Structure 1
Amino acid sequence: MLQWFELKWKRSLGRKTILRNMMILSLFASIIPVIAVGFGSYLFSASVVQSEVNGSNLRILNNVSSTIDSALDRIQNNAIQMLLGSFFTSNLTDLKQTNYTGFYSSISRELAALQSGNKEASDIAMYVPDEGYLISPNYGGRRITGEKEREALQQELASEDQIKWITGPYPNLPGYGGNGVTLIAKVPLQSNKPIGLLFIRIEDSMFRSILDRFVSYPNEHMYILNANGELVASTGKEAVPEGLSSRVKGSEGGVKRSLFEWNGTEYMVTPSISETYKWQYMDMVPVKQLNAKAGGIALITISIVVIVLMLGICFVLWGTRRVYRPIERLIDHVKDGAEQAADTDEIGFVRMRWAELSSTTSKLQLRLREQQPLLRESFALQLLQGRYQHYSGNQLVGMLRRYEVPAGREHFVFVIAFDAHHGESSRFQESDNELIVFAVKNMTSDLLRSQEMEGIVINLLNDQVAVWLFPNAEQSVSGLPDIKSSVERIRMLISDYLGLPVSVGLSRPTEKIEELPELYEEAVLAVRSRIIVGSSQVITHVIGDSELHYRYPVEIETHLENSLQLGDRNEAERMLNEFAKSMQNAVQEPELVQMSYYRLLIAVTRTSYLLGLDSAQLFGEKNIDPYTQIRKINSIHELNHWFRDYLIEPVTAYVRGKQDQEHVQLIQKVVRYIEDNYHFDLSLDQCAQICGLSPHYLSKLFKKTMDLSFIEYLTKYRLDRSIELLRGTDLTIAEIAEKVGYQTKNFIRVFKKHIGATPGQFREADKE
């Protein structure tokens, strides 16, 4: 018996050895290719991630460079516009000689207006070399005393460049250190003898604020270099790593992607060159972060490899067993009917794993179906916002097919907006806007289904809901009127349920999927126009190209406000005419023109309120409603006349009257000072210092108010006091001269010149 078990064990051992060798050989033949494919798939996916990130970074850099170039162009154009204005194109040398104080106050006013319109500029200053003054709206005027700085500024004034940008610190001016850029322009432009230099400083903090908005990864670095390779700004104020600039410097556009090692870390570098100023923009993203981003892909790849390997192992075990079974039967047959080993564990394991894989697949498909509406909504929102404008027609059709959107139909876009009023009668609170949007979105989806209309409802994340509508062929035949009536039913039902005014902006139809962004913009502008045409309705608003590209002239509005604050009627009327010219691009759309003039009306009334002007002085005692008046006027010419008569003229007259009153008070202050101190040695400079004015300006103001010059009035007052002393006292001529602020000889000479006799002769004649 013992010998029989020993023989059976040896036989089983030999059989298992053959089976094991067969399994090992089969496993090696199946495992190695699977691992190679999995590892290659991971490397390929990581490379794809890097390529996608590089493309995204390149688009970001192009966006950053376009934003910065636009800001620099706007600042430079505003500076040129100021230098070509009426003040700087006049004879500044004569103005400075004739009106010294007015010259500098006008410069300060112009610089302040320029800085108010260019918030990116940290400082705007003008250097006048004759006195060495540096004038700035931030710190007023101060003198440049250093010989080295004044000599450097004089060389700058003598250079051939009329206007230029420089990078980095400008050591010749205080406060112009560190990175950043400085605009230097001669004043006036194109003059053989400029009288000064204009400086506009933009600190690197402005550039960093733009760069920081686009930083997406930890330890990511962005750099901006000018055309000469000098650092303009960086995200962390650090210097450009050594060797990086030479790595990316090359052909136009630079290398699309390269790897660079710095401080023991490997970075992926994406360069870009701006079109206008040829600045170099570089973005360094740690490769480690990109690999971390690909971690999810690696996990999925490993999971797939593990699943495939497990299936392979099960298949190998089952296959080798099947191959081995004839050998086992042959051995049993040879051994005269030996028992056949029944081994079903491997097959049971394969069945178990197959059941688990089928269950996992079913769960994943279920989750995909649950996420499909959110994916469709996200795709629709990006399509309406123009994120797929660079896609070709075939690519867009493929995207539509992926998200189960039918192609070849008419498309509409409408935007639903509600005007929330949180009063006592309202059922909603101020914090319920998200709840309202949620209700509007769900109700719109249900109403579309009830009307058998196909579309995608999108939450715009701004308390509005957009609907991309693609009706079927029967609904499209009826066209826009039927669609509008269906949308009106949806609007009324939502408004009745919420108890709030609901407005809908409806676009025109189109069969071209690439025109959807334009339709979305039409719907958005249409729903915005409810402030003009009224809410609680469906608004159809077909927009032309001119309206899509219309821009409200903010700079003209700002200049007009400054002119009103200074009481400059002529300049204010000129700005009003310039505003009317800018309306020509939108004159075919009366609503847009009215909206622009509404905004200008708000700006002017705000300025008059800040100046302390009563509304009755603007629109008269009849209490005219200005908005009703604007709606009644049919032409821009009439609008300008109305603005001039009811707004410009009252405001400037009020400011001029206020200035005249202040001048009278100043002159009265000077007269009182003369009456109290006439017996001292008075001068115009002393009185100007008391009033805070320049002597020249005080002299002109005194002459205008009193019809006498300062010296004439002082002399007349002293002579009147001396006559009183000559008549009423027995003081000697020398004593009287001292009491009225004269030396004896000068007193006798002045008295005889104005009275016609000496003081002694006047006293004798008066006694007689």
Structure 2
Amino acid sequence: MLRPKTKSSSMRGAFYRKSFIWFLLTASIPGLITGIFIYTFSKAQIEQDLSDLHQNQIDQRVKNIDDQLSYLELDLAHWAFHSRFGWELADLDFVYHFQETWDISRTLNILQGSHPLIDDVVLYVDREQPVLFRTGYRLPTEEEIDLYRGLLSDRRHVYWQYELADIAAQEEASPHAYAANKIRLVHKVPGESSPRFGILTVTVKADKLVNLLKTMTPYNEGITFLMDRDGYVIASDSPQGGQDVHHALRASILAHRENGQGEGRGTFLWDWSDMTYSVSYGSMKRIESDWTYVSAAPLTAITSPVIRLSNIIITVSLSVLLLGLLLSWVASNWIYMPIRRLLTKMTVDADTELEKLDEFQFLESQWSSLADQRLILERRLNEQLHNLRNSFLLQLIQGHLYAYSEGDLHRQMERYGWKVDQHRYYILRFQLTGFDSLKGRFSAGDEALVTFVAFNIIEELAAETFQQFGVMNFHDLSVAMFLLSHIDEEEREKLRVFGDRAAQQIHKLLGLNVTITVSRAIDYLRETPEAYMEVERFSGYRKFSNQYQFIRIDEIPADSIAEDTGGYPFAKEQDILQALRSGKQGEAEKLVAQFLDELLARQDTEIYVQQGMLQLLGSIQHMILQSGINIFRLYEGENLFEHLSQIREPNKMLTWMQKRVIRPYIEERESRASRQLKEIVDQTVDYIHENYMNDISLDECAERVGTNSYTLSRLFKQTTGVNFIDYVTNIRIEKAKELLLHPNKRINEIAAEVGYQQRYFNRIFKKHVGVTPGQFREISLQAVEQSKN
């Protein structure tokens, strides 16, 4: 890179001169002016602002306290209406039903730990033999019975209760007389109806409540307390020796309210012992009660720092004035140094440019020029990036990159913009079928055009569904997609939905059917070629009944994969069949030649080679039959086995196989369509409805309709949307619900009528419904009674 033609490396422009002057002004003058202004004019305003800030802080902290208590009230009300504390507690034998007793104790423990203000939770059930729960079950004492019956006799349903004492008694008690009283929140149970036979009480932690009150005195010198509508102090921060000031402040608040200023909230200044307090008070609405909070902060604690700060600012500003003059010169040179270094990197005539522009204008013009060049290059790269990605993926899945290590492949993909760390990969193959059946819409040779349209549809839908993917067009009525998925994501359902949408759009626009084959999850990029070959092979596992099929290789039984015995080139045969399924004529013809070479290499006798070729012909015809093509029509009724058995020379066998077997099949290749055997599923559903009370198995139903259990299971899931076992279970559960509405039927009888043993019936019913059969019967019967009332 060329350096600019400058007069010297220390050349300075207009920006340097201007910045040095501004440094001198900004470093000295503002500080001095600020100190004088604050001291002269802003003291009163700052005092008012700080007082307002203090009030705002109090409002926020009061809101926090109110929210805590409101949450406590709401939480208790929620539990009081819980079915756990319903009418059954009035007659429940807590000793016999120990599980219910344990559940109640556990519920109370959960309630006690649900809020930091809760100190104790008590459930009292008033009946002939009263019962008391305090984390555990026990019988209450006479004193406790009197206490809780007194709380239960109160006309209010939900209310706060605390031990009251007049202010004089509180003052005479001790230096801590203003600590929080014992405060309870009482809720009668059951909550949804009356009369009520018990109460649920929550005792508030006194120390936690006092700590919340202390947050309203941020200066640690104030006074804070709560009192009820009658003026009784409920809780206080209780400063040592502060009874007199509490008494006087309480009297002032009451007088303030009696003078017509007590509604809502208020703020006023209050003098006590040569000290002025900023007093804030307000109402805190509670259930069946109105509380008043009071916070008093010394005003001198708010304003004294202002005067001290103003004096400090003036003193420091005068000192900084002299130091700033020196530092401004040093700092301007230091700050300008990076600019000077940057100017030396420019590849233009800096002398000429700096005569017209200051330094930053010059740098801006150079930056704009570089940015324009970058955008042009980036646009050109993006135009080619898509093609480069697809070219790389084609080489990857076809095995041309076998020499690359896993790390090399990762770096190559990252270079093309993919994120591959912590990812796994899938290959989807879309095979378009039914091209030859489109009468008049497309002509021979339009396969590439049709594939291109399908390719665009798949690419657009994939962009809406996935973040990282690549779509490859093979121009032979097949399209492949390479998908990157994070290892923490579950793509099974997303792939199915995407496949359904793609098949629907292709069928709607082109009239073609689609077979989608999805590979197993690929953990390493080097496994991609093998995975793609497996996808191509398993594309032939499409059933004959459906037009659109979605095939997941990991769902295909392992025993359906042929094993290589070693005596016959099974692997090469599978490659030939896969090439034929994919419509690759040239590759299939080459593979047949290789197949013949392997036969000759293993056993060059005529009968072995002939039998091997006859076996290959049988496999090819079997594959053709599986693909749905009529062999008699394809080969015009010719007996291929007879012709092949008459050929004696290997080269003639190869030529005949290529011309008479492979090429006609490639020319006639079309979609294999399948139809659902809906009648089979309907018969199975009818049988389930008639025999749900008996032991029904999938094998039994498959035998009745004349198929195997695997086929029936798949067809059943595709038709009904649920698998066989879930469908039978749902029928039995719905019938059990109907029978549970009859109160005279016992649960074990109902279990037998729907085909279950009682113990298993209870477990399966709770799993599907969420409650046990007994609970369901009780809830349903209660609902029926309520609807009648």
TM > 0.5 fold call: no
More contact order relative to length (CA 8 Å, sep ≥ 6): 2
TM-score (norm 2): 0.32
TM-score (norm 1): 0.33
